[in-house]
Amino acid sequence: MSTASSPKSASAPSLSPAAPKAQTPRAAPARRAPQPGMGAVPHAGGTTFRVWAPHADTVAVIGTFNEWKADADPLQAEENGYWALDVPAAQPGDEYKFQIVNGDQTLCRNDPYARQVTSSAGNSVVFDPNFDWGDDHFQMPAWNDLVIYELHVGTFHAPDQERVGTFTSAIDKLPYLRDLGINCIELLPATEFPGSRSWGYNPANPFALESDYGGGLAFKELVKAAHRHGIAVVLDVVYNHFGPGDLDLWRFDGWSENGGGGIYFYNDWRAQTPWGDNRPDYGRPEVRQYIRDNALMWLEDYRVDGLRADAIAFVRNVHGEEDPGADLPEGWDLMRWINAEIDQTMPWKITIAEDMRGNDGITAPVADGGQGFDAQWDSAFVYPVHAAITAPNDADRDMVAVAGALTQTYNGDAFRRVIYTESHDEVANGKHRIPEEIMPGAADSWFPKKRAVLGAALVLTAPGLPMLFQGQEFLADGSFSDDQPLHWGRAEEFRGLVQLYRDLIRLRRNLDGHTRGLGGQHTRVFHVNNDAKVIAFARWADGDGGPGDTTVVVVNFADRAHEAYAIGLPAGGDWPCRFNSDWQGYDGSFGDFTSLGAAAEPGDYDGLGWHGTVALAPYGVLVLAQ
């Protein structure tokens, strides 16, 4: 979810990355030592309850263990507005709420730290933290080897199965993803939201897993199963706002100012977001601790391998723009604090930001004043590439803009960005899947197939962390909606295209040992022909590259074949073709335009010391490697 700014204007490709533009460090707001054991903490002798309600006159815990009687278990006041009590009768599985009295107000609230709820409008549940992780000693893949698959649990199932997808039904699809070559799944937010269908960007209970998806134990089973298949799990988290529906955090203990949301929220103009006046108060120590505890819980207790923070432009600025007058320095510092702690304690776990403003400071190190995210979604890739493959006329495809998209880096690191052509944002809200954008109502015809493949090939060969959106590999059409499950029959109908993605992923991960360069830092766009609409670039990992490393990618963005198209080559010798997108085995409508590769001849061309010719199909992609 984002309100993305316009993409940066494209320029001629540069082989030298721009210097980072990290924001100026700011003084950190005061931090209060965390209270131990927030929420409901079961133990051998019962359950300890602790809650923050600084404006309460009294607080009691009511539940199934005391017949919901407010006078049975009154909490004791602690320092700084905390209340706590040990209740021997309370056990895992018991339902409960906090009853808060503030003057003439008597409020029944769900636990802000509840790990389980019966529903977003129901009760909190004492969650059993015990879980058998078995032999789970998963090792996070090297980040430059990641191929990410974004999925929405609620729709990632067959139409004839459940009413809504679940963590269990997602487990059923893990072998398919493993065989596709995916080694990282990124889940849209899966915390409790109102109703049974949502994208997940309206968190009602930020610490509880969505009950309609199966809850916390089922989520742990999904993480455990993914790890057994060699697949990392990244979870989308939402800290730019909470709610707006079924939100017991709202005026939690009865206090508020200016019509605001009370202790968990800003109560002035800083509360304003595109999703309501419900921005958390990043300057209040207890709220900062609440968000920090949430982030660390997923990584530690649920063993997820990374977090993707939604729309953080609205964490660092009220309007999500580069507007100094609306900056939220405490929001900037909050993300730095969380990322610094993750780096210090679990440096192998990845944090990804959705900012979409092209700001180097997002992925600059905390020590340099940056926010310290490991990668960020890259608008400088998706927008020019999307424009190039969806433009109706070949003449309107801008190869200079595509070259700029290929060479963009953040902080001089090729893997500080996540690149994609489809995401939940790019295929909804009035927009459609790439094939549908190309030819509405005929997404399975030749032009959409061929040009969608151009985008996929760039995602899987360009520098960056490649990401696919669910169903992209079998030509999912229409738009993404949380009430429309994937049509898995298309995976068989378009099994050739699924194989195409599988082959590209094998190349990207160098599973056959010929294309190590696709996971390397170095990129050189050496051929940009804006008349013929052909672009060629080289990727390599070590030194000057060489056999098994340097990989050349040639992409034809026009509906025109070339029997012998001349390009420069990085070295002499034969350059075998490792991938040809026009192979008829991928789709019966493709032309099977044969390309065996290129034989290099000495002589300067494209600024390189060697050159050769390749056979290029219309809208064709070749990958060459020695």
Containing 224, the helix (H) or strand (E) segment is helix 215-228
399-407 and 379-390 helices cross at what angle (nearest 10)? 150
What is residue 536's three-state secondary structure? strand
Per-residue tokens: 400: 């200079």
Residue 176: per-residue pLDDT: 98
pLDDT mean across residues, the chain: 94
Residues in a beta bridge with 202: none
**Tokens 């030194």 appear where?**
543
Count of Cβ atoms closer than 10 Å to residue 161 Cβ: 13
User: If you ran DSSP here, which 8-state letter would residue 28 be given?
Assistant: P
Name which CATH class applies to 39-125.
Answer: mainly beta
Using CA atoms in the order 261, 266, 270, 275, what is the torsion angle rounded to 10 degrees? -40
Identify residue 9 by its one-letter amino acid code.
S
Residue by residue, DSSP assigns 158-186 as -TTS-SS--HHHHHHTHHHHHHHT--EEE
Categorize the per-residue pLDDT at 163 as very low, low, confident or very high, splitting at 50, 70 and 90.
confident
pTM assigned to the model: 0.94
Domain with CATH 2.60.40.10 in the chain: 39-125
Per-residue tokens: 553: 């990618």
Per-residue tokens: 220: 């742990």
Residue 322: per-residue pLDDT: 87
Residue 33: per-residue pLDDT: 55
Phi, psi of 67 (to 5 degrees): 55, 30
d(CA 290, CA 263): 12
| pLDDT (tens digit per residue) in 136-151 | 999 999 999 999 999 9
Please state whether 216 falls in left (phi above 0), alpha (psi between -120 and 50) or beta: alpha
| pLDDT (tens digit per residue) in 115-129 | 999 999 999 999 999
User: If you ran DSSP here, which 8-state letter would residue 76 be given?
Assistant: E
Residue 28: per-residue pLDDT: 44
d(CA 164, CA 212): 8
For residues 117 and 209, is the Cβ–Cβ distance under 8 A? Answer: no
Strands 184-187 and 148-151, by their bridges, are parallel
What is residue 198's three-state secondary structure? coil
Categorize the per-residue pLDDT at 160 as very low, low, confident or very high, splitting at 50, 70 and 90.
low
CATH number of 516-625: 2.60.40.1180
For residues 190 and 210, is the Cβ–Cβ distance under 8 A? Answer: yes
**Tokens 């050769």 appear where?**
612
For residues 157 and 485, is the Cβ–Cβ distance under 8 A? Answer: yes
Per-residue tokens: 607: 């600024």
| pLDDT (tens digit per residue) in 285-318 | 999 999 999 999 999 999 999 999 999 999 999 9
User: If you ran DSSP here, which 8-state letter would residue 276 be given?
Assistant: B
d(CA 392, CA 413): 34
Strands 608-616 and 597-605, by their bridges, are antiparallel
d(CA 388, CA 89): 64
The residue among 404, 325, 327 whose CA lies nearest residue 361 is 327
Count of Cβ atoms closer than 10 Å to residue 25 Cβ: 15
**Tokens 């990282």 appear where?**
184
Please give the CATH superfamily to which domain 143-253+280-508 belongs.
Glycosidases (3.20.20.80)
Residue 34: per-residue pLDDT: 58
Phi, psi of 185 (to 5 degrees): -110, 140
**Tokens 């032309």 appear where?**
591
In this predicted structure, the answer to whether residue 427 has a pLDDT above a threshold of 50 is: yes
Domain with CATH 2.60.40.1180 in the chain: 516-625
Strands 58-63 and 46-52, by their bridges, are unpaired
Domain with CATH 3.20.20.80 in the chain: 143-253+280-508
Residue 302: per-residue pLDDT: 98
Count of Cβ atoms closer than 10 Å to residue 288 Cβ: 25
For residues 40 and 127, is the Cβ–Cβ distance under 8 A? Answer: yes
- The terminus-to-terminus CA distance of the chain in angstroms comes to 42
